[in-house]
Amino acid sequence: MSGVTNRTLRALYKPFGFGLTVTEFVSSNALQYKNERTMDMIDQHGVERPVSTQLWGNDPEIMAQAARLVRECGADIVDINFGCPAPKVTKTEGGSACLRDAGRCEAIMRAVVAAVDCPVTMKMRLGWSETDLVYIDIAKRAQNVGIKAVTLHARTAKQFYRGEADWSHIAALKRAIDIPVIGNGDLGDARDAFAKMRASGVDGVMLGRATLGNPWLVGQLRALMEGREPDASPNAPERLRFAVLHYHAMVDEWGEARAVPQMRKHLGYYLKGFPGASALRERLMRTETAAETLRIVAETIVALETPPRELAVAS
């Protein structure tokens, strides 16, 4: 979720029912230099707390230093990422590439736990490949060194996001360790997500890509967890009105030069699922100013809410 879950989005999405929000994952190496962009990635408003700051890297001492820094900057939880499959991360032996070396994973977790006075959690995949599923071994090592909870995305690194997440592995992990297990992967429908929670016995779920452009999913799942009937999903005009709110918040916080290109992808998410969305998305990808973009969105809302004119037919 790098480049996505900044403090603006977390603050906007938190009221929908998230129990915990997570920052963009950030390189432990980059944090050594404290450049403005990197520090922005771990910054928070406070309204989205509790906040977990997610770190990736391959060196135990550098990860420990990064953990101390983000804790000083307000992280309530430090999360270690052993799950990212992106080549730019794995080529440096970070993210899911760490799963190829269980000893290094353990050393990183041990160093981070010793470095901070807050809970440390860890997110991982099943393993690097289908022939090397190490998640139970890594999770047991995590439990032994003091990790407080483990999130499992039920795919291997080699799978990226292809195929389906295999939740039978998440259920197996829940049976194998005593610390809380959080399930992740293919949770785009609230009722399906709730069914997977109950079947696997997990203590919670992590929602990521499925919430982009659809924070209402969080409230729907929370309602089911609390024994209530979830609200219906909003119609297209309602989704676009929230997109406008998101757009204004981004411009106010980050300035137009940074907000306009960043919001292109977010508008793409909000535009899913209604007639003409594809053509409108292509049009919005070419806008250069906030005013132009918001004008097009406003016109679209009006068009969607204007009933078609009845045709007079001569008899």
Average pLDDT (46-70) is: 97
- CA atoms of 16 and 154, how far apart (whole Å): 25
Summary mean pLDDT of the chain: 95
DSSP designation for 19: S
**For residue 49, what pLDDT is reported?**
94
Quote the tokens at residue 98: 């760490």
**Tokens 């918040």, residue located:** 249
**For residue 135, what pLDDT is reported?**
98
Q: Is 84 annotated as catalytic? A: yes
> C-alpha angle with apex 123: 118 to 124, nearest 5 degrees?
150
Given this structure, which CATH class describes domain 236-305?
mainly alpha
The catalytic residue among 73, 84, 105, 118 is 84
Q: State the Rg of the chain over Cα.
A: 21
Residue 30 neighbours by CB distance under 10 Å? 16
- Does residue 311 surpass a pLDDT of 80? no
Given this structure, which CATH class describes domain 7-225?
alpha beta
CATH 1.10.1200 residue window(s) in the chain: 236-305
Q: What predicted TM-score, i.e. pTM, was given to this entire model? A: 0.93
pLDDT digit string, tens, across residues 169-186: 999 999 999 999 999 999
pLDDT digit string, tens, across residues 192-228: 999 999 999 999 999 999 999 999 999 999 999 999 9
- CA atoms of 26 and 36, how far apart (whole Å): 13
pLDDT digit string, tens, across residues 4-30: 899 999 999 999 999 999 999 999 999
